[in-house]
């Protein structure tokens, strides 16, 4: 694979987080999840976390400048390739990311993972994640272990923003704000599209074939 700067695009519960982690592991890239990073900041009680908390509680995305601050700091500390999940979410964020990358922006590829809304809603209801490590999975995978992470033994929970009302709100925001981001990358011939229905392994084979 030649791309070492990848941004993931997709509606909530499209599986882009799972695909991003699989791709990062396969290609030796650093992985950034803006949602996870923000929740970490909130738990740590940092200034950034305090600013972000009201938005997260309301199931809304944080303002551009807050998201930018988070990702710029992270990128500046990476000396190899990376994958961004949850950024850029808006056109101004995408334009600003290109500005930060400068001449390297030509190497960037945006990967859009798509799926029907009924399938996404079903996934939201089932999704669980570990508070301690990067493990994510479904309700069925942790049921027998009473909410214990199969990977590290930490506490597994439903993501605070995973209720149906929040999902529908975020889906609407995705259509309004993030689809223009996909168009932006399409215009500059940097957009790859993958159909996200199927097992994570099936979808990942499609992802990998896009990078050959």
Contact positions toward Zn ion, by CB under 5 A? 130, 132-133, 135, 149, 151-152, 154
**What number of other Cβ atoms are within 10 A of residue 129's Cβ?**
21
Nearest alpha carbon to residue 38 among 67, 16, 59: 67
**At its nearest, how many Å lie between Zn ion and the CB of residue 84?**
22
**At its nearest, how many Å lie between Zn ion and the CB of residue 129?**
9
Residue 88, preceding peptide bond in cis (omega within 30° of 0): yes
Q: Whole-angstrom distance between the N-terminal and C-terminal Cα of the chain?
A: 6
**At its nearest, how many Å lie between Zn ion and the CB of residue 51?**
27
Report the distance separating Cα 31 and Cα 74, nearest Å: 10
**Is 121:109 a contact under the CB 8 Å cutoff?**
no
**At its nearest, how many Å lie between Zn ion and the CB of residue 154?**
4
Nearer to Zn ion, 147 or 154 (CB): 154
Nearer to Zn ion, 117 or 133 (CB): 133
Nearer to Zn ion, 116 or 150 (CB): 150
Q: Which residue in the block uniquely carries the two structure tokens 């700067």?
A: 5
| Four-point Cα dihedral 117, 123, 124, 129, nearest 10 | -150
Nearer to Zn ion, 51 or 151 (CB): 151
**At its nearest, how many Å lie between Zn ion and the CB of residue 155?**
8
Nearer to Zn ion, 110 or 149 (CB): 149
Q: What residues does 157 pair with on adjacent strands?
A: 129
């Amino acid at each position: 694979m030649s791309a070492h700067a990848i941004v993931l695009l997709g509606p909530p519960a499209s599986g882009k987080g799972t695909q991003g982690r699989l791709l990062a592991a396969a290609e030796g890239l650093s992985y950034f999840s803006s949602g996870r990073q923000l929740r970490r900041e909130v738990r740590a009680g940092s200034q950034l976390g305090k600013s972000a908390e009201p938005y997260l509680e309301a199931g809304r995305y944080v303002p551009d400048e807050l998201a930018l601050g988070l990702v710029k700091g992270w990128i500046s500390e990476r000396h190899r390739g990376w994958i961004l999940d949850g950024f850029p979410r808006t056109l101004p964020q995408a334009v600003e990311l290109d500005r930060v990358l400068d001449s390297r922006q030509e190497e960037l590829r945006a990967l859009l993972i798509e799926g029907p809304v009924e399938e996404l809603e079903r996934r939201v209801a089932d999704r669980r994640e570990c508070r301690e490590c990067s493990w994510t999975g479904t309700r069925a995978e942790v049921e027998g272990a009473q909410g214990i992470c199969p990977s590290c033994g930490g506490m597994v929970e439903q993501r605070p923003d995973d209720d149906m009302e929040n999902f529908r709100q975020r889906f609407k925001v995705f259509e309004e704000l993030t689809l223009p981001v996909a168009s932006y990358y399409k215009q500059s011939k940097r957009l790859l599209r993958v159909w996200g229905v199927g097992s994570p392994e099936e979808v990942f084979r499609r992802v990998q074939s896009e990078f050959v």
